[in-house]
Structure 1
Amino acid sequence: MINGSKTITRPIRWAMVGGGEHSQIGYIHRSAALRDRNFELVAAALDIDPTRGRVFGEQLGIDPERCYPDYLSLFELEAQRHDGIEAVSIATPNGTHYAITHAALEAGLHVVCEKPLCFTLEQAEALRTLAQSKGRIVGLTYGYAGHQLIEQARAMIAAQALGEIRMVHMQFAHGFHSAPVEAQNQATQWRVDPRQAGPSYVLGDVGTHPLYLSKVMLPDLKIKRLMCSRQSFVASRAPLEDNAYTLMEYEGGAMGMVWSSAVNAGSMHGQKIRVIGARASLEWWDERPNQLTFEIQGQPAQILERGMGYLHPDALQDDRIGGGHPEGLFEAWSNLYRRFALAMNAADRGDAEALAALRYPDIDAGVEGVRWVERCVESANQDSTWVVY
């Protein structure tokens, strides 16, 4: 159980790029990073408006001299300090991720980046090569992977509790953009602009989340080929999709499906993953993250609750408040940031064994997310033909 004990000798000196006052995701980054005292927020370039960013930075308790107008100034001037930053989180629109991550790695910093890591597989591979050459950690914020029942599902599948895996059904299908809300919502506008969002909208924005959960649960399941159909039900979003269906064939014959959508009217979030085996199935739903459904053919369904002693030790390692009390997204993100800190610390110490023992959404997860989106777009643009993965 996580109880607040120190896991590293001192907090990592940390900065944010983006995540300003009106950011949708900035607060959860700060809450997760600061909760376990593994990070200390000492500098930032929070806003495209330097004055607004500085004012908000001061409200967060950052020294005004370390509230920078842009990320280049942040990296350059912090490198000149004896107490300069060691890591940075990037919470900016998708189109900026590659340049900022590249600059951060060149500056010798560890990185936590919003997904997608970048727009193209070529860019992603270049970032992976750079991170490896610099010995730096790159983490991706697939925050839902921090829920402890994801680890429980992984352990049960590995123990053959489901039998041979036949199907994996995934979805992240909310309804908040079932109308053209971007006309009034600036925070949504960039998500449907190809110049800032890249080659896809919902495939990269939501579809990669359950895809990563499937990789945690089923690490040996490899995609062989896929086919994708995508739609722009709000016509003004074309060529970007607001709905997509992706069918995948895995090596060995299992099948997978991902429904990615922002137009599932009435749905709050709609992220689910169901793994179906020859003997049993399990299902996790992010709106009810404290329960994992386990269904053995011919027997009553079981509901496994987080925090209970019957769970696998790997799941209980991520527990924070014991059984019965509900945990949610803030705890899941905090678990991931704790792992990011441990990985950064291990990399700084040159402890390859400790680093290899950690599991978190790393640079490889970022590369695979970009690869999947690229292949989906390729398939959809070829009239939904099968493409080799």
Structure 2
Amino acid sequence: MRSLIPLCSAGLLLALTACSTADDADDYSSVPLTIWADEERAQAMRTFAEAFARDANRQVEVIVVDHEELRSSFLSAHSTGLGPDLLVGPHDWTGELASAESIVPVGLSADDADLFSPGALDAVTYDGRVYGVPYATENLALFRNTDLVPEAPASLEALVETGTDLVDSGAVDRALSLQVGEEGDAYHIHPFFTSAGGYLFGEDASGDPDPTDLGVAAPESVAAFERLAELGEEGSGVLDRAVDSSNATEAFTSGQAPFLVSGPWSIAPTQEAGVPFAVDPVPAFAEGDPARPLIGVQAFFVASGASDPELSENLARTFLEDPELSVILHEADPRVPALDAALEMVSDQDPNLAAFQRAGEGGLPMPAIPEMEAVWSPFSQASADIIAGREPSEALAEAERLILEGFGP
């Protein structure tokens, strides 16, 4: 399926062709396979595509689409019969794309789960069918300044006590750096929310998220945020809207905070800053449930209208046979490889990657159902408002109302 959409309507920024020179193109099939990816992943995809193109003797083009437009542009292209052969994106798009019949299963089954990090294949499974090939995972963990805190805290209460003592002594400015911001951050608050007993969706009989059981304003979730409010701006002040995506990592790398809750994207800046650190699981409340970070999976999706469905699926699956290709992807886009064999290869160079995988054990794949899109913004805003001092039941009731409106008829 060739991409014929005008640049302005599809939001295309740049096309990267796997062939290195114009002369090389004559050696390839005249109809290229096309991959759509956002700018952050484009270079990784280009390197990967070049290796595949040489082996398959088929030109592969990587088309860069703005991340904010990537999913909607792909769905629009599908509805008009145009678009790419493959899409690279987060697994939580799976339900919406599969429901729209814009992607097809990729020939993997539950028996292949052992090839990947725990939960990676489940994340791209919808209605019992696997719709994506995971290539990278990400989840939150606890960064700990080992000069200030030699041992990992056994609980969230222990973390708060240690951090507060360091603040009181003048060693740091804040006990914990966790991004909240004025609009909140559902992803970053989720481990503490689950440990306090809250939930976003219940589960159906097969263990998948159940949109008919929305837990945002359930009594358990209200009680969870009542507990989290004690850490907010009108409580201990450990959680603070002044910490957001622009300064959370910097607070840790500059020595202002002894702890940071963040993802693998904070490894490089921490190493560059020369801060001695360890990566630990996010701690749970002492008498609470497990702290369950949301697991994000980056995946290849095969478009239902691909010009060459078999070759497109082969491209999506090719790194399963050659873990070196996963390493190439990791080097260009340093997320944790989803393929266990590749993770073993890169963990020798950076043991923090394996630590992140351990921190994600017991995590919850971001719900890959269409209804999840309506949850992010209202739930995030409610969390920020509660941390600022708003009454939890009121804020969560409003969030649930907005979410249900977003579900549509």
Task: Indicate the structure (1 or 2) with the bigger Cα radius of gyration.
Answer: 2
Greater helix percent: which structure? Answer: 2
Q: Relative contact order, CA 8 A, sep 6+: which one is greater? A: 2
